[in-house]
Amino acid sequence: MVISWGHILFPGLEVKESMLFKVNRDADFSVDEKRDEDFIEAMEEVLEGRERSPAVRMVYSPGGGRLRDELARRLSLEEEDLYSIEGPLNLGGLYDLVNIQGFDHLREKGRPIYPSPAFSDDETLWDRISRGDVMIHLPYHSFDPVVRFFQEAAADPQVISIKTALYRTSGNSPVIRALEEAAMNGKQVTALVELKARFDEERNISWANRLEKAGVIVVYGLARLKVHAKITMVIRRENDRIKRYLHLSTGNYNDRTARAYEDIGLFSCREDIAFDGGILFNMLTGYSAIQPMRKLVIAPAGLKRRLLELIGREISRSKAETPGRIMAKLNSLADGEIIDALYRASRAGVKILLCVRGICTLIPGAAGLSENIKVQSVIDRYLEHSRILYFANGGAEELYLSSADWMPRNLDRRVELMFPVLQDDIRARLRDTLEAYFRDNTQARLLNSAGDWQLQSPAPGESPFRVQEYLLSGAKAESPEAARSEFVVRRPPPAG
């Protein structure tokens, strides 16, 4: 019910109808890709155009038939563009209610964020990464090692260069500040700032201007492609040689969303991966054409082809007694070629488990088509955002992390990155994490062949399992604080 205050604003008049409404305008504007010299100005024109763009939808509260029709006429909206909603029209306004004092008993308790056990203040990041790859799982682990990666690189006199691909950052980004500091310290800093990051264009333009003023070499993305890959490379002089350190991630360099988005980052100085990282940055900055890589796989040059090869290999190695197996955790699945390949794999007996948070146009469980495919979604306190891919490969299992969802826009129209997990302990841990998602019987929803999502619950006699709580408890158990929470007393065994 909408309470009208119109009679107060217009004394003496009678209010006959009232309603709340919200209008959405077209935000899908394409920038002129030919304007290289004044690309920032072209992007600013796009942002200005959004303010005057055509209306594409109106949501409204019931009770205002004539008002609705008049607004629809003036906005040139058809009946299919109008949506009546019984409830709040702008859910963002509910954030103010969440923080009202005096209602703590109605809120779910905040979850702690634990420091990564792999890093300590007694050892430089370079020494730790040189001993082996390191994985951090956000937001169960703190984002601090990522910030420290940039800060130590900025201050370290042995570091000669930093290269990074930024897609989204926070409003007061410590990453941006570290890049500015590095440039002012005389290091060569190159930052690819994606100006076409949807709804972050204005902020990224601001960052680009700031970085340029500090002396950073700024690249404004690529023509006709959006750079969605997340990668940073630090080049350091060590013992009369050059050594490269990489951070690769499924998510953005945003310290704010790192407290609410589930993502996975990997630190490495493996020479083969670092070599590919150098090739990638040369391509992104225009210093080389597309080159083949040994470990990293990028879109649109070869990621879809590689995924189809991996699915095809699983089909060829699948046998009745040892069926192939594919597990994937994604945000969205809508690419027709990938879906067709998964259908072929299902018909060949490959067991396929998919955890897809959002859009999924694949139909699971259909007779003769996808009987061996299970699709579920996990919606919980944290936004599931990482992409984890597993292929059994006849026992020589392979596991990958990626910035890309399996959608045409990611695989065909963006620069995306898929990177292998090569260290045994990290690969085992990620496989356990991936399998844990398919054990969730509390927050998981299962997709059936009719397209309906069904909330799962523990079967009779089955214990509740909530994957985010499981991962949180694991981070707590291995945190440095947990190791210091009790005294381990050593004493000699009893005599006799």
Q: Which CATH architecture has domain 299-458?
A: 2-Layer Sandwich (3.30)
> Quick one: pLDDT at residue 378?
98
Which of 137, 141, 228, 385 does the annotation list as catalytic? 228
Q: Kindly report, as residue ranges, where domains of CATH 3.30.870.10 are found in the chain.
A: 125-295, 299-458
> Quick one: pLDDT at residue 198?
58
> Quick one: pLDDT at residue 440?
98
> Quick one: pLDDT at residue 466?
97
Give me the tens of pLDDT residue by residue for the chain, a chain 496 residues long: 455 667 777 888 888 888 889 998 876 655 545 555 555 565 556 555 566 778 899 999 987 788 999 999 999 999 999 999 888 888 877 777 777 888 888 888 889 999 999 999 899 999 999 999 999 999 999 999 999 999 999 999 999 999 999 877 777 889 999 999 999 999 999 999 876 655 556 666 777 788 889 999 988 777 778 889 999 999 999 988 999 999 999 999 999 999 999 999 999 999 999 999 999 999 988 766 678 899 999 999 999 999 999 999 999 999 888 999 999 999 999 999 999 999 999 999 999 999 999 999 999 999 999 999 999 999 999 999 999 999 999 999 999 999 999 999 999 999 999 999 999 999 999 999 999 999 999 999 999 999 999 999 999 999 999 999 999 999 999 987 655 545 556 667 666 5
Topology classification of domain 125-295: Endonuclease; Chain A (3.30.870)
> Quick one: pLDDT at residue 144?
97
> Quick one: pLDDT at residue 15?
80
> Quick one: pLDDT at residue 431?
98
Query: How many Å apart are CA 71 and CA 25, to the nearest integer?
Result: 14
Q: Could you confirm whether 247 is annotated as catalytic?
A: no
> Quick one: pLDDT at residue 205?
73
